[in-house]
Structure 1
Amino acid sequence: MFQQLIYDLMIRAYRLAIAIVSPFNGKAGKWISGRRGWREKLRNNLNTEGQKVFWVHAASLGEFEQGRPVIDMMRSEFPQCKIVLTFFSPSGYEIRKGYDKVDLVTYLPLDTRSNARDFLTIVNPSVAIFIKYEFWFNHLAELKARSIPVLLVAGRLHEKQGFFKPWGGFFRKGLSAFEHFFLQDKTSAYLLDELGFKNYTVNGDTRFDRVLAIQEEDRKFPEIEKFSGGHPTIVVGSSWPYDEILIQKYIAGKRPGSFKVIFAPHEIDKKRINEFINRSPLPAIRYSDISNSTGSESVLFIDSIGMLSHLYRYSTVAMIGGGFGAGIHNTLEAAVWSKPLVFGPRYKMFREAVDLVENGSAFPVESQMELDEILDKLLFGDSTIRELAGQMAWRYCESGQGASKQVVQYVSASI
């Protein structure tokens, strides 16, 4: 009871903190405004007409991409059912609020007991699916009280989470709401075993299914293909400022026209893009201005959302951003196009990145010198190394498919 009280106070304190900074922070402002009047919005926009409802929750955009192949497959398998998709973060909601494979996209209400009761009364889901490691304990408690099946999909647990601490009884109780855990790895299964949970399946990462589906879409950008022009090309995906500085230093000594660089930044900041273009050692252009290209540019800065996963097809080498910061971004989006990968040293938290390094398709670097050496080798050296790395990347992606199908089969048997 005491831990429940502390949790509730922390949730309300978080809400207060967001409200205080919201006038000065655009993302916080959207977090507040997006949840305003949520009960009325749900009642007005969700008409179930006696149909079964699937509720899928993702923290943000990355988790949505993991859940997306499951959602797409459920839409195909259960066309008569309603699907409600909720986000915690504005970065997921704002980009995917128009997603047409679900019936409603909305924010998850703040995790209070009264909000959880009202949300579940209005939505009345037949099944609830949480993606990866998003746990909201008042919603979970209410789901359990109503005997609504709850699944964790693409789950990944680690020993630093509260479930596995001596004081974590309240959090462990939350895990009992899950009817089944679909896990990415054996480490997560071992941790659940330690707590006495046996209701799990280690079926891998649903992102494999997603990136393979993206490849099959075969979306092309003729203007970018023209920009690349058959030259050796680096695509720097989800780049952060430090990634961009490293590449800027790399290209400083290169001859214009000998190769191309395409930046797809993690966050589109017009001021930062302008500053980079102005100080670029080689001619540079924004994607929004590409129709005005003279053909002499060596650097292209993408200032549009939703392109990256398809851009890697134009790369000779893919550099994955974030490895010199908090951690790298999605490696599978590049690997599925049979491309060798390069990234910074902070990758070991990501199982797929570790696997790609071990099988020889990815190359971690820790300094400017190491980055320069591996890029020269992959771009201008013996093509056999590059081709073999690309082949191993593709095989790794192909071997990981099928997790989404297992989830949907379980849902089908449960309803």
Structure 2
Amino acid sequence: MSSPSPLLSALLDLGYLAAAVAASPWILWRVATDARARTGLRERLGFPHRRAPIRPALWMHAVSVGEVQTGLPLLEAFQAAHPDWDRVLSTTTVTGQTVARSRRPDDRVVYFPLDWSGSVARAHDRLRPSAIVTVELELWPNFFLEAERRGIPLLIVNGRITERSVRRFRRLGPLVRRALRGVAAVCAQGSDHAERFRSLGVPPDRVQVTGNMKFDGAPRPSADPYAEPFVRRLGLRPGGTLWVGGSTHAPEEEILARVHAAVKTSRPGLRLVLVPRHPERADEVVKGVAAQGHRCYKSSLLTAASEPPQDLDDAVVVVDTVGELRKLYGVASLAFVGGSLVPHGGQNMLEPAAVGCPALFGPSVGNFRDIAEALTAAGAARIVPDAEALREAVAGLLARRDRLREMGEAGRRVVEEGRGATRRNLAVLEQAIAMGGTPPTPRSRHPDPFS
């Protein structure tokens, strides 16, 4: 296969430039007013600190928190099999960086470069990867083309793509098809995703179904979930009744607060903890919940306080830190998984199921359709089409402890039976490395002022 023409990257850069100029007022406003938009700017422009090319390196890219957690089992398995390799983990979001740095303190953690050809080439020059893995769907054409030019095997693992994304990528025509033509392998979650990748131009013999690594990344039940300091600081105790709104999006928090008020009239002592998908929304969520008459506290205030507030048992808690949701699922009687009563596509409902917490979610689950169908078919979860159905489900299930227990056990079985994709993906990755060898790194065509 011939190396990609530089003309392809030039065309992509022109397209990005046109989009940047059109959006420049918004971009400038966001950079000026939002510190997150300035975070990691040097790395995003292709200037991470140089990695000494003494050892080969695996570069894994995971856009945000969910993808980081999904990819970590593979990174850990690769480290165990290849301790002589360095590891680079990149993210796009600030929250993803926080989790990546916390979970992988010995790895190089960086921000992913913008998909300009210069930024991508400089990042390659500085990090010198020997193999690249992208988690789920991170299709950046210049990045893919640069890896192909350098002879670096690039794999998509836990690959998933919706019909909507396929239609969007098809608008870019041959550019996307050419970028995907050089992919070493696609490890798809299911046969429908595999077929969509083939339709976009991935050679059919490089696409295979290996399953969903989210099953492998799902937590194991803790022997004593109430021993977690975070859980204790929120005043959660054995024998209490807690339901959790996990990874919620606006206006789901206010819907859950209304449901909580209605159900609590017949269940005094019921607690609700809300965990917004984006913790920076915590102040907005607290304001909206308090406007409905609830006492409301941010979790960071509770963990910092020397003594808990006296009215904590009657208050709604909003979690404004990262990495706490799994701990809460472990002590919850019931969970609502967000991004599903709004047209977002849902969030990971395996996390509550893995620790035996029954799950409710709305009809918008396109990002997790296979998982949602498996859980509902097993009786481990229910779909609630609207706020009234959610109220009826919460009230009905909390009144039936035996049913909650059955749903929790069914969820654990589904998760355990679904594990194994990480092992299969590791085998594909090792095969791609063996076939490609350790590639040389050609000198970038783009100057590096930090050399």
**TM-score range for the pair, normalised by the shorter chain length:** 0.7 to 0.9
Identity of aligned residues (%): 23
Matched, 1:220 2:228: yes
Q: Which amino acid aligns with 1:271?
A: D
Q: Partner residue of 1:25? A: 34
Q: Partner residue of 1:355? A: 374
Matched, 1:121 2:125: yes
Kindly indicate whether structure 1 or structure 2 has the higher relative contact order, using CA contacts under 8 Å at least 6 residues apart.
2
Residues 8-407 of structure 1: matches in 2 within 5 Å?
8-15=13-20, 17=24, 18-19=27-28, 21-30=30-39, 32=41, 35=44, 38-39=46-47, 41-43=48-50, 46-48=51-53, 50-100=54-104, 102-160=106-164, 161=166, 165=170, 168-194=173-199, 195=201, 196-212=203-219, 220-221=228-229, 222-223=231-232, 226-253=235-262, 254-255=264-265, 257-268=268-279, 269-276=281-288, 278-279=290-291, 281-290=293-302, 291-294=307-310, 296-325=313-342, 326-351=344-369, 352-380=371-399, 382-407=400-425
Unaligned runs of 5+ in 2: 435-451
* 8 Å CA contact 1:22, 1:29 repeated in 2: yes
When residues 30 and 210 of structure 1 are mapped into structure 2, their CA distance, relative to the original with a 3 A threshold, is: same
Which stretch shows the higher mean deviation, 74-83 or 286-295? 286-295
When residues 66 and 118 of structure 1 are mapped into structure 2, their CA distance, relative to the original with a 3 A threshold, is: same
Q: How many residues align?
A: 409
Q: Which amino acid aligns with 1:220?
A: E
Q: Which amino acid aligns with 1:204?
A: G
* 8 Å CA contact 1:248, 1:281 repeated in 2: no
1:292-335 CA-partner distances (Å, limit 9, x unpaired): 23264343322322100221011111011121222322211111
When residues 107 and 262 of structure 1 are mapped into structure 2, their CA distance, relative to the original with a 3 A threshold, is: same
TM-score, normalising length: structure 1: 0.88
Which stretch shows the higher mean deviation, 26-35 or 147-156? 26-35
* 8 Å CA contact 2:235, 2:313 repeated in 1: no
* 8 Å CA contact 1:339, 1:390 repeated in 2: yes
- 2:246 is paired with a residue of what secondary structure? strand
- Mapped partners of 1:275, 1:250: distance in 2: 17
Which stretch shows the higher mean deviation, 61-70 or 217-226? 217-226
When residues 88 and 247 of structure 1 are mapped into structure 2, their CA distance, relative to the original with a 3 A threshold, is: closer
Quote the offset at 1:373 in angstroms. 0.7
* 8 Å CA contact 2:70, 2:213 repeated in 1: yes
When residues 244 and 122 of structure 1 are mapped into structure 2, their CA distance, relative to the original with a 3 A threshold, is: closer
1:65-116 CA-partner distances (Å, limit 9, x unpaired): 2211111222222222111112233342344345435531112222222333
Unaligned runs of 5+ in 1: none
Q: Which amino acid aligns with 1:68?
A: L
When residues 102 and 182 of structure 1 are mapped into structure 2, their CA distance, relative to the original with a 3 A threshold, is: farther
Q: Which amino acid aligns with 2:388?
A: M
* 8 Å CA contact 1:19, 1:28 repeated in 2: no
